[in-house]
């Protein structure tokens, strides 16, 4: 296990379209996912995509446990998701604040589909098929954007709602994705 460096905005690796995972449950894949897990825990993040640690593969992890530091955070089950396919279940879009481990210290208001279905596989090749809404849907869209080389600032529609976390939310602990 090891904690890896999270690449920051400006690094060209974050702008690449990631490759599909071809083989499940290999030692290399399992080690990558362990490192992603350890890195996300160390950074206290809600999600992480493989390109954020410099690996251009379609692998994302996410999850939020109930935590007194984040009383408003919805619980999201810890999930390892490979080769994801997202299908919006509504055209309704919700705006909410997002942060990203690759864009430290900043937050922006980002539009996302309110509900969606996501399909893919876990690291052992077992299919995943879920329909979700709210923060769960938001975090999936944020992480899967990383696999397309998209960072949340590229989605912001009103740049007046983009700024430094400590200025926007003084004294509050907030999770990045
Ligand atoms: Ni992110």
Query: Is residue 136 a contact partner of residue 79, using CB atoms and an 8 Å limit?
Result: no
Q: How far is the CA of 55 from the centre of ligand 1 (A)?
A: 14
Residue 39: the pLDDT is 98
Distance (Å, whole) CA 13 – CA 1: 22
Domains of the chain are 12-168 (3.90.45.10)
- CA max distance for the chain: 46
Residue 72: the pLDDT is 73
Task: Give backbone dihedrals phi and psi of 107, rounded to 5 degrees, phi first.
Answer: -140, 150
Q: How far is the CA of 125 from the centre of ligand 1 (A)?
A: 24
DSSP 3-state of 160: helix
Walk along the chain (177 residues) and give the pLDDT tens digit of each residue.
799 999 999 999 999 999 999 999 999 999 999 999 999 999 999 999 999 999 999 999 999 987 766 677 789 999 999 999 999 999 999 999 999 999 999 999 999 999 999 999 999 999 999 999 999 999 999 999 999 999 999 999 999 999 999 999 999 888 898
1-32 burial, b at 16+ Cβ within 10 Å, e below that, comes to eeebebbeeeeebbeeebeebeeeeeeebeeb
pTM of the predicted structure, to 2 decimals:
0.96
Catalytic residues: 143
DSSP 3-state of 79: strand
Residue 69: the pLDDT is 67
Q: How far is the CA of 146 from the centre of ligand 1 (A)?
A: 7
């Amino acid at each position: 296990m090891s904690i890896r460096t999270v690449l920051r905005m400006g690094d060209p690796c974050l702008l690449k379209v990631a490759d599909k995972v071809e083989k499940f449950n290999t030692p290399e894949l399992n080690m990558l996912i362990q490192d992603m897990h350890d890195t996300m825990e160390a950074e206290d993040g809600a999600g992480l995509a493989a390109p954020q640690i410099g690996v251009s593969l379609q692998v994302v992890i996410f999850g939020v446990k109930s935590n007194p530091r984040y009383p408003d955070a919805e619980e999201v089950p810890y999930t390892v998701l490979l080769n994801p396919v997202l299908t919006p279940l509504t055209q309704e879009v919700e705006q909410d604040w997002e942060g990203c481990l690759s864009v430290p210290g900043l937050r922006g208001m980002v539009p996302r589909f309110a509900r969606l279905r996501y399909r893919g596989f876990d690291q052992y090749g077992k299919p995943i098929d879920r329909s979700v809404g709210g923060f769960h849907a938001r975090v999936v869209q944020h992480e899967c954007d990383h696999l397309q080389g998209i960072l949340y600032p590229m989605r912001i529609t009103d740049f007046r709602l983009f700024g430094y976390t400590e200025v926007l939310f003084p004294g509050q602990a907030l999770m990045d994705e």
